[in-house]
């Protein structure tokens, strides 16, 4: 991350588009508890950081609109959009019918006409009815028009387990999106990343699928709103020399906890937060693994044909001569998501990571 102040978005929307945008006076009437573009440093939850990022984007760019199921007066199931309708008006943050395909299709039309829609699809599996729009239009329109039509569109999706939910509420469907060329897929692991990466996603001229780990919504951390993040950039978040744990989103805290536990057993463990699942930052990850010679990929999603599998294959292909042991994966099981009572057996935990570490040919 750099420490530069986030740039204000520029560019004007076509006349037809601006007719639907909020008048400048509405933006000017927004409360001034946080002056426009004035950076703040506060301790907040990931949910609050996301809310702040959306609010700052609404303030700084009149083209930004937020919509989805219950995101208006209710503020969303997880209250990520809490207070935004009251603050910015129903033209900037509003509810939609229960029609995910319609939500994304409408966003495509808005983005084609100069607006910057940020849509929320309430739960991961609820996004599947919109999948045809995502794959056939959101991901392909830029290529279809040889770059003449760009889609500055963000699709926010709460995903992953750890909240005691049932199927359709705890899925990890990132592999579907990462398998689709034309999409940038992002998942934050801290409140700071949530703020900075969401601002970067909204500033992107191309579509971003923004996967929010539900179980981390209430995690807390210091957020500096002047800190920017680069999409497509992984980050070494813990140094170590014996092995590298590679993870993203909801599994990053497990990786860090396992690293601490392994250190107590005399091993020096490095941790990488992938952050952007695609396009994948090969340079950062491969440099790290070449330095340690051992790697484990940790992710909640089922392991078969998964993002974890892709990372494992890339490490084998690009670091084979440096490896001291096979690259392992610690993932969810190849089954439908477990019921709340058995969720703790399904999700990767510290013990499973430590068991995988023990298999990395330390005797040599």
Active centre residues (catalytic): 169
Q: Which two tokens stand for residue 360?
A: 């990395």
CA dist., res. 26 & res. 289, Å (int): 51
Sign of CA dihedral 101, 84, 190, 288: positive
Q: Is 67 helix (H, G, I), strand (E, B) or coil?
A: strand
Cβ pair 57, 202 in contact under 8 A: yes
Phi-psi region of 4 (alpha: psi -120 to 50; beta: other; left: phi over 0): beta
- As a whole number of angstroms, the distance between CA 337 and CA 345 comes to 11
Residue indicated by tokens 């301790």: 43
CB distance 3 to 227 below 8 Å: yes
Residue ranges with strand state E in 164-279: 184-186, 208-213, 220-224, 235-238, 243-247, 269-273, 276-278
Q: Where are the alpha helices (DSSP H) in 208-342?
A: 252-264, 282-292, 307-319
Partner residues linked to 66 by β-bridges: 93, 118
Which residues are registered as beta bridge partners of 95? 68
Compute the distance between CA of residue 85 and CA of residue 107 in angstroms, rounded to an integer: 18
User: Can you tell me the distance from the alpha carbon of 262 to that of 195, in angstroms, rounded to the nearest whole number?
Assistant: 30
The stretches of the chain forming alpha helices (DSSP H) are 15-18, 24-28, 46-60, 84-88, 100-112, 131-133, 141-144, 174-178, 191-203, 252-264, 282-292, 307-319, 343-346, 350-357
Tokens in use for 103?
């939500």
């Amino acid at each position: 991350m750099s420490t530069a102040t986030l740039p204000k978005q520029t560019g004007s929307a076509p006349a037809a588009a601006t007719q639907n945008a909020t008048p400048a006076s509405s933006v000017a009437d927004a409360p001034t508890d946080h002056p426009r573009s004035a950076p703040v440093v506060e301790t907040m939850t990931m949910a609050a950081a996301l809310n702040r990022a959306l609010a700052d984007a609404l303030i700084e760019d009149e083209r930004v609109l937020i919509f989805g199921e219950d995101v208006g007066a209710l503020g969303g199931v997880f209250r990520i959009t809490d207070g935004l309708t009251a603050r910015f008006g129903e033209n900037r943050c509003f509810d939609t019918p229960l029609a995910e395909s319609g939500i994304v299709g409408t966003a495509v039309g808005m983005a084609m006409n100069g607006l910057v829609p940020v849509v929320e699809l309430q739960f991961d599996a609820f996004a599947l009815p919109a999948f045809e729009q995502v794959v056939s239009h959101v991901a392909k329109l830029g290529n279809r028009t040889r770059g003449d039509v760009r889609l500055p569109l963000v699709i926010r999706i709460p995903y992953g387990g750890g909240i005691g939910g049932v199927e359709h509420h705890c899925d990890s469907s990132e592999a579907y999106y990462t398998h689709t060329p034309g999409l940038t897929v992002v998942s934050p692991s801290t409140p700071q990343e949530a703020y900075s990466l969401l601002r970067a996603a909204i500033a992107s001229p191309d579509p971003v699928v923004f996967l929010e780990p539900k179980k981390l919504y209430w995690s807390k951390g210091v957020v500096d709103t002047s800190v920017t993040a680069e999409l497509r950039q992984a980050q070494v978040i813990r140094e170590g020399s014996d092995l590298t744990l590679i993870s993203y989103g909801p599994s990053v805290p497990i990786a860090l906890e396992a690293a601490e536990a392994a250190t107590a057993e005399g091993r020096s463990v490095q941790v990488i937060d992938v952050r952007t699942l695609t396009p994948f930052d090969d340079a950062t990850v491969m440099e790290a693994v070449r330095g340690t010679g051992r790697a484990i990929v940790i992710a909640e999603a089922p392991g078969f044909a998964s993002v974890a599998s892709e990372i494992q294959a890339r490490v084998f292909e690009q670091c084979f001569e440096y490896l001291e042991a096979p690259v392992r994966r610690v993932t969810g099981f190849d089954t439908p998501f477990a019921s709340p009572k058995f969720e703790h057996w399904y999700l990767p935990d510290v013990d499973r990571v430590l068991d995988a570490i023990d298999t990395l040919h330390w005797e040599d």
